[in-house]
Structure 1
Amino acid sequence: MKKSFMMLLTLVFVASIALAGCGSKAETKTTDEKTPTTDATQTPTEPEKKSEPFSITLRHIQVGEPQKNRLAILQDVVKKTEADVPGLKIELDGVEDNTNRNTKLPAEMAAGNVPQIFDLFGGTKDAQKYAQAGKLLDLTPIIEELGIKDQFMDLSAFSVDGKVYGLPIGSSAEGMYYNTEIFTKYNLTAPKTWDEFENILATLKSNGVTPLAGFAKDGWAAAMLPNSLWARYAGPEFIAGLKDNTSDWTSPEITAAMTKLDEWNKKEYFVKGQLGIDYAGRIGQISTGKAALMFDGSWSSSSFADPKQAGDVVGKIGFFFLPPAPGGKGDQTAVNGNSSANGYGFRADLNENELKAAKAFIKNMYTLENQEKGLLTDNTLPSMKLPKESTDKVTDQIVRQVTEGMSAAGALFPVFDAFVTSEVNTAIEQNVQKLFSGKITPAEFGQNVAKAAGK
């Protein structure tokens, strides 16, 4: 509206000049009429001021082939934002997710030299900790002004005392991917019960097929499956209790969960040598038939839709959440799903120009159009409330199975690392690896983590 009004004013101004010019030409025909002189009191029109160029840094984690679609969305947003803010140049700084979260960003926060915009993980360990330390910009006025605050499904992981300090770019879930061709070959189907799941693992192993992909070299990746085992054996309440450190790591249920993981490891259900395999090697284990199942996040579904990454298994991958555990506590229909993962945060001390850039970035990034684009091109679950006509466009089998499973769940539980301290997080990752290597027992796992938690 404002732009149209300005164009109207411009047209009126141009028309006025044209009319004035015509009048002058008519007046010159009268030979005894003098050319009017300029009134000294008139203020000459000042030339339009050019905007001073300035730049900001945007730290992102969209690096590598699996993130190409997400990077394309980001690059488009950057172009629009630069066009909206005169003089602005955005410098993109791509850093691997784990490196940014656990190494680079904490060091920059301590030194006070974080980028103006940066990838930020939600929860007590990251967004809420930095917000309480005064390191993050309060985004509440911005998202209220833009009218998008109520469009997010959940901002709790990025909020402190009712104020919002970060915005999630998507949501996620964690569960089991499986090769449908291998399942069909051995007359297997997605399990509804724990016994059916155990039968799948045993059947595959007895037929010379390694059941589970392994990538335990990266501690955070090794701890994904245990997170869901804890929720199955000790209940979703255990995960929730990590936020205020009331959960008991030495409970019989946690020991039972880790005993089951240890049992699968000793039965060689995981790919051999997994402690030497990093997270990047996971897709290849499924695409080459080296393993039949893989526990991972919903973000990997886009990799299985890409022939360059998944090869011949494109369209031949299914997904299910872990079935209820026998004797498990709490709501056994609950599944892992949350909006506490990656989003964007902004430095607290932005100057006037940088603040304009931040507002424009938020306006351009957090749109229903981009949320739909992320869902359809990258299989990224939305963090904003998409209309039914958008979700109905989903054709990817994996995404449909993930969303259907989440819809059928009685509750959702988050990932543990959204809540625990850095010390506890490190203890969990290292002790899962120690369990896989046979250096500790399941009971010692709980004891070691409890010690790190100050218990």
Structure 2
Amino acid sequence: MNKVKSGLSLAVVMAMTATSVACSSGSQTATTTTTTSPSPSTPVKAAEKEKPKEFKMTLRHIEIRDTAKSNLAILTSVVKATEAEVPGLKFELDGVEDVVNRDTKLKAEMQAGSPPPIFDLFGGADTLNYSKAGRLLDLTPILTELGLKDKFMNLNEFTVDGKIYGLPRSGFVEGVFYNKKMFADAGVQVPKTWDEFLKVCEAIKAKGITPIAMGGGAGDGWVINMLLNTLFVRIGGPQVQDGFATGKSKWTDPAVVEAFKKLEELKTKGYIDKNVIATKYSDGQARFYTGQAAMLFDGSWAASAIKSPKSIVANDASFFNFPNMGGGGDDMINGGWSNGYGFSSKLNENELKAVKSFIKNFYTEANQKIALKESGNIPALKLTDIGDATGLIAEIVQAQLSAKKGAFPAFDALVSPAVKKTLEATSEELIGGKITAQKAAEKMQAAQDAK
């Protein structure tokens, strides 16, 4: 992930001319007569305005959790503004859980050639595959038309052969949320190295508190993979996961096997929630913000839950980048701009007008600052400042800025969906004690070879 920097140029969004409907006016005089005298003419009537023909567009989004209410509010306001600008437009919002959308619903729609006009899209491999199949609208000329071409922080994950096929809603970073009070009570500080991290975990555990909250079961194996992703990049450097895309890297390479072993160690020593495999992501997250665990490895988006009314740790929560491990990925942070919106390549004239209006209304500095302050969403646009974001949100942004070597993207933006799904199942087996680190690596390499 490229760093969010203060002082970056203000995103100037070109105003988009609202389509107007021409109407005609005229007068009509009617006269009636009797056998005695003519009646006066009727009043002149203006012709009624012709109503624009209504057309509906589905907008697929993933803002369905309670913790996404702020993001949904932004989307709703953009929808209303766009409907007001485009005569006849009526959006139909289709809220779908993110994993279901990406791995099931959208995948089937893309295979059938019938995705919604606007939909949540993941960058990297998804964008590459769908663009090659001709399913995605080329946004390159539209961004030029709207004056947005150079306003995004990073569009790499949505760019294929120099053309832009998607726009990130926001960026993200992944790291460790922690309870400052619990750390103080245990007499520990934010760890800078792996050995220090283990000592922190041991001190927290000695207090009878779960060191690391995690919900990675019941189909949420991707949660475990967030931590695993950071481990193998910390040890082997970003070139390890870059090599997964080309076949240069093997899952059985020493750095990757060692990452599996480190993950296994955290679970074996009782540092990760013992119920991780039986716990959903949202429930694991809740164990942290309800004060049942000292740490939570999660993405910046988790800030909205930690600050929510359900949280009892909002004033005690802070954030740090995962500690260095003495490898090629030290002083980096896991992050990127990989979740956003894509648009169908099969749009009629009115739908294309609606898409342009939607992009113009959604991608504004004001919306980005609201999302940063209320949900912890790392801005996708270059901002002049971070607005009035303070506390936990400001600490997340500072952690990103402090990563001296920048950011590395999530591995699942670089591998095939089949490899991603296999790793989710494999990680659950590993952390559940059903498979060893070496066997996990071998299983993954077999999946990589079969793709």
| Class of the TM-score when normalised by the shorter of the 2 chains | 0.7 to 0.9
How much does 1:128 deviate?
A: 1.6
> Hey, which bits of structure 1, 4+ residues long, moved more than 4 A?
1-4, 45-49
* Cα deviation digits, residues 308-362 of structure 1 (max 9, x gap): 2x1x211211111111103x2x24111111012x111111010111111111101
Residues 373 and 393, structure 2, Cα contact 8 Å, conserved in 1:
no
What is the letter of the counterpart of residue 419 of structure 1?
L
How much does 1:222 deviate?
A: 1.8
* Cα deviation digits, residues 217-270 of structure 1 (max 9, x gap): 111112111000011111121122223232221111111111111111111112
Separation in 2, partners of 1:2, 1:70:
23
Q: In the alignment, which residue of structure 2 is the partner of 1:339?
A: 337
How much does 1:135 deviate?
A: 0.2
The equivalences for 1:377-416 within 5 A come to 377-388=374-385, 391-395=386-390, 397-409=391-403, 410-416=405-411
Separation in 2, partners of 1:85, 1:418:
34
What is the letter of the counterpart of residue 349 of structure 1?
K
Residues 172 and 300, structure 2, Cα contact 8 Å, conserved in 1:
yes
Q: In the alignment, which residue of structure 2 is the partner of 1:166?
A: 166
Q: In the alignment, which residue of structure 2 is the partner of 1:348?
A: 345
What is the letter of the counterpart of residue 268 of structure 1?
G
Residues 276 and 284, structure 2, Cα contact 8 Å, conserved in 1:
no
* 2:353 is the alignment partner of 1:359: no
Q: In the alignment, which residue of structure 2 is the partner of 1:32?
A: none
Separation in 2, partners of 1:2, 1:305:
36
* 2:434 is the alignment partner of 1:439: yes
Q: In the alignment, which residue of structure 2 is the partner of 1:22?
A: none
Q: TM-score, normalised by structure 1?
A: 0.86
How much does 1:191 deviate?
A: 1.2
Q: In the alignment, which residue of structure 2 is the partner of 1:59?
A: 60
Residues 131 and 165, structure 1, Cα contact 8 Å, conserved in 2:
yes
Q: Considering only CA atoms, is the larger Rg found in Structure 1 or Structure 2?
A: 1
* 2:294 is the alignment partner of 1:260: no
Separation in 1, partners of 2:181, 2:188:
10
Separation in 2, partners of 1:156, 1:229:
23
* 2:196 is the alignment partner of 1:201: no
Determine what percentage of the aligned residue pairs are the same residue. Answer: 44
User: Any stretches of 5+ residues in structure 1 without a counterpart?
Assistant: 7-13, 18-44
Residues 235 and 329, structure 2, Cα contact 8 Å, conserved in 1:
no
SS at match of 1:176: strand
What is the letter of the counterpart of residue 141 of structure 1?
P
SS at match of 2:271: coil
SS at match of 2:325: coil
User: Any stretches of 5+ residues in structure 2 without a counterpart?
Assistant: 1-14, 27-45
Separation in 1, partners of 2:259, 2:158:
30
Aligned CA RMSD, in angstroms, stands at: 2.1
* Cα deviation digits, residues 353-396 of structure 1 (max 9, x gap): 111111110110111111112112222110010102xx15221x
SS at match of 1:420: coil
* 2:103 is the alignment partner of 1:102: yes
* 2:366 is the alignment partner of 1:369: yes
User: Residues 200 and 139 of structure 1: is their aligned pair in 2 closer, same or farther, counting only changes over 3 Å?
Assistant: same
Q: In the alignment, which residue of structure 1 is the partner of 2:223?
A: 221
Separation in 1, partners of 2:409, 2:188:
29
Q: In the alignment, which residue of structure 1 is the partner of 2:37?
A: none
The equivalences for 1:297-312 within 5 A come to 297-308=299-310, 310=311, 312=312
Separation in 2, partners of 1:370, 1:132:
31
SS at match of 2:449: coil
User: Residues 90 and 251 of structure 1: is their aligned pair in 2 closer, same or farther, counting only changes over 3 Å?
Assistant: same
Q: In the alignment, which residue of structure 2 is the partner of 1:291?
A: 293
Separation in 2, partners of 1:364, 1:116:
17
* 2:175 is the alignment partner of 1:181: no
Separation in 2, partners of 1:140, 1:392:
29
Separation in 2, partners of 1:412, 1:164:
21
How much does 1:3 deviate?
A: 8.1
Residues 170 and 382, structure 1, Cα contact 8 Å, conserved in 2:
yes
Separation in 2, partners of 1:2, 1:272:
54
What is the letter of the counterpart of residue 369 of structure 1?
A
Q: In the alignment, which residue of structure 1 is the partner of 2:77?
A: 76
Separation in 2, partners of 1:307, 1:191:
29
Separation in 2, partners of 1:149, 1:243:
27
SS at match of 2:227: helix
* Cα deviation digits, residues 130-154 of structure 1 (max 9, x gap): 0111000111111110001100011
Q: In the alignment, which residue of structure 1 is the partner of 2:250?
A: 248
How much does 1:212 deviate?
A: 1.0
Separation in 2, partners of 1:336, 1:401:
15
Q: In the alignment, which residue of structure 2 is the partner of 1:449?
A: 444
How much does 1:428 deviate?
A: 0.9
Residues 16 and 360, structure 2, Cα contact 8 Å, conserved in 1:
no
Q: TM-score, normalised by structure 2?
A: 0.87
Separation in 2, partners of 1:241, 1:177:
30
Residues 369 and 387, structure 2, Cα contact 8 Å, conserved in 1:
no
Residues 236 and 329, structure 2, Cα contact 8 Å, conserved in 1:
no
Q: In the alignment, which residue of structure 1 is the partner of 2:117?
A: 116
Higher-helix-fraction structure: 1
Q: In the alignment, which residue of structure 2 is the partner of 1:419?
A: 414
SS at match of 2:211: coil
The equivalences for 1:42-57 within 5 A come to 49-57=50-58
Residues 214 and 272, structure 1, Cα contact 8 Å, conserved in 2:
no
Number of residue-to-residue matches in the alignment: 410
How much does 1:48 deviate?
A: 5.3
